[in-house]
Amino acid sequence: MEARIIDGKKLSERLKEDIKARVEGLKQKGVIPGLAVILVGNDPASAVYVRNKERDCNQVGIQSRVVKLDEDTPQRELLEYIYKLNADPTIHGILVQLPLPPHMDPNAVINAIDPSKDVDGFHPVNMGRLVIGEECFEPCTPKGIIRLIQETGQPIAGKHAVVIGRSNIVGKPVALMLLRHNATVTICHSKTVNLKEITRQADILVVAVGKPNLIDGSFIKPGAIVIDVGINRVEDQLVGDVNFQDACRVAGWITPVPGGVGPMTRTMLLENTILAAEKKWAG
């Protein structure tokens, strides 16, 4: 059996067409959706991400404002900039590119963003709403993961989902979202005993740990949906947390790296920005 590929790039392009139409609808009502992205320092990977986000915005008609600050910018100055964006009616979404320089507290920075403009979905208000099942901005990568699973046509309800990784950015929120979709959810991490025994029970396996080729076919239940969130550079090649070739022999569906979760994360950022603009227009 050869796993079917869940093409995140194709799905994201399809979703962008819907987003573009929603942007046009808002513009006809006099609303131009605006996203501000703040980049502090000169991290090369972050700079690439920001350029990609700017390109995505231009593609669908969202007004993009990129703010670049020096590595040694005081945290107070960054917070003041965020407060100005909070009060700016032309900006509907605010994203601060992580990681931040060591002298900055990422929690304090995230907490400074107006929850109604927190299109990354990391503010404690939005995370709290996610926990209790209220409407909120869902974090972009987990939101994209759910869409990729749904793309298989297989129901999430009643399935056993195993998430490897417990970060606040991916592991915890995607577990909550899978639970919201009525899956039975197990979270595994570095202290988990008998990892393989647990993952082989998974109908849906989400791997988000940042360790190249950690999971091979022996960890996977035959026919399972495998979502590989990892992106690791090994000998000038990008590889995931899942050994793709080996996993393909066992899984029913699998995301590639690159071209799986990554494009969906950026597209969900666009969708959250449109949601923010639509809510603002609706009053």
Among 114-123, 162-171, 233-242, the range scoring the smallest mean pLDDT is 233-242
Contact 91, 85 (CB under 8 A): yes
16, 117, 118, 120: which one is catalytic? 120
Contact 277, 92 (CB under 8 A): yes
Respond yes or no: is residue 75 known to be catalytic. Answer: no
CATH of 30-114, one of 3.40.50.10860, 1.10.3720.10, 3.40.50.2000, 3.40.50.720: 3.40.50.10860
The reply to whether domains 30-114 and 140-262 share a CATH topology is yes
pTM above 0.85, yes or no: yes
53, 143, 159, 172: which one is catalytic? 53
Name the residue among 61, 69, 119, 60 with its Cα closest to residue 95.
Answer: 119
Respond yes or no: is residue 53 known to be catalytic. Answer: yes
Q: Which fold has domain 140-262?
A: Rossmann fold (3.40.50)
Per-residue pLDDT tens over the stretch 251-266: 999 999 999 999 999 9
Tell whether the model's pLDDT for residue 246 goes beyond 80: yes
Q: Percent of the chain having pLDDT more than 70?
A: 99
The one-letter amino acid code at 46 reads: S
Buried (b) or exposed (e) across 143-170, using 16+ Cβ within 10 A?
A: bbbbbbbebeeeebeebbbbbbbbeebb
Alpha-carbon span 39 to 70, nearest angstrom: 9
97, 117, 118, 241: which one is catalytic? 97
The answer for residues whose C-beta is within 8 angstroms of residue 118's C-beta and 6 or more apart is: 93, 94, 110, 125, 126, 137
Q: Percent of the chain having pLDDT more than 90?
A: 92
Per-residue pLDDT tens over the stretch 13-24: 999 999 999 999
Return the HEC string of the chain: CCCEECCHHHHHHHHHHHHHHHHHHHHHCCCCCEEEEEEECCCHHHHHHHHHHHHHHHHHCCEEEEEEECCCCCHHHHHHHHHHHHCCCCCCEEEECCCCCCCCCHHHHHHHCCHHHCCCCCCHHHHHHHHHCCCCCCCHHHHHHHHHHHHCCCCCCCCEEEEECCCCCCHHHHHHHHHHCCCEEEEECCCCCCHHHHHCCCCEEEECCCCCCCECHHHCCCCCEEEECCCEEECCEEECCECHHHHHCCCCEECCCCCCHHHHHHHHHHHHHHHHHHHHHHC
Both tokens assigned to 180: 């919201």
Alpha-carbon span 276 to 35, nearest angstrom: 10
Upper half-sphere CA count for residue 207 (Cβ side, 13 Å): 34
> What's the distance, CA 38 to chain centroid?
17
Contact 262, 281 (CB under 8 A): no
Respond yes or no: is residue 97 known to be catalytic. Answer: yes
Q: Residue ranges per domain, the chain?
A: 30-114, 140-262
Tell whether the model's pLDDT for residue 1 goes beyond 70: no
pLDDT, mean of residues 191-202: 97
β-sheet bridge partners, residue 215: 242
Q: How confident is the model at residue 236 (pLDDT cuts 50, 70, 90)?
A: confident
Per-residue pLDDT tens over the stretch 176-192: 999 999 999 999 999 99
